[in-house]
Copies of this chain bind each other. A is one copy, B any other.
């Protein structure tokens, strides 16, 4: 608790870019929650890495990410579970090179029709985003579920 206060200004990233990242997550999370797996995994670069403390090893490449996403979507649909990734508290910074660093908090809810909606997990997400063919893609994703050990 002895660090100096940051000097960072909020103007480092333009309002245009900030809104674009918000739109990106709005579309991206809806695709996942509606089990449109190809839409969701289409937001990752082909060589993207997706690391999470819910798995022992990072997922490497869109093919592996897609396989896991399809399995997860199947599970949700078999159980009749609705899951929502509610994205909040976005912070966007310039990353290295031409990348963007986007940090979010996600409240993940779980509902079975006829039951009550529950807070299933709270996650922090740190994405490295790159622009390719005029739009944003995820190059690297690091997710931490608060309820699981970080390492």
Contacts and interface: CB of A to CB of B under 8 A. Distances in A.
Contacts of A98: none
Interface string A112-129: 111111111110100000
A10 B23 CA distance: 6
A146 interface: yes
Contact of A42 (B5, B11, B124): B5
Given A5-B39, A90-B22, A146 B109 contact: yes
B113 A86 contact: no
B122 A111 contact: yes
Contacts of A92: 23, 26
Contacts of A25: 89
A35 interface: yes
A111 B39 CA distance: 31
A45 interface: no
Interface of A: 1-6, 8-16, 18-27, 29-31, 35-39, 41-42, 70, 73, 82, 84-92, 103, 105, 107, 109, 111-122, 124, 134-136, 146-150
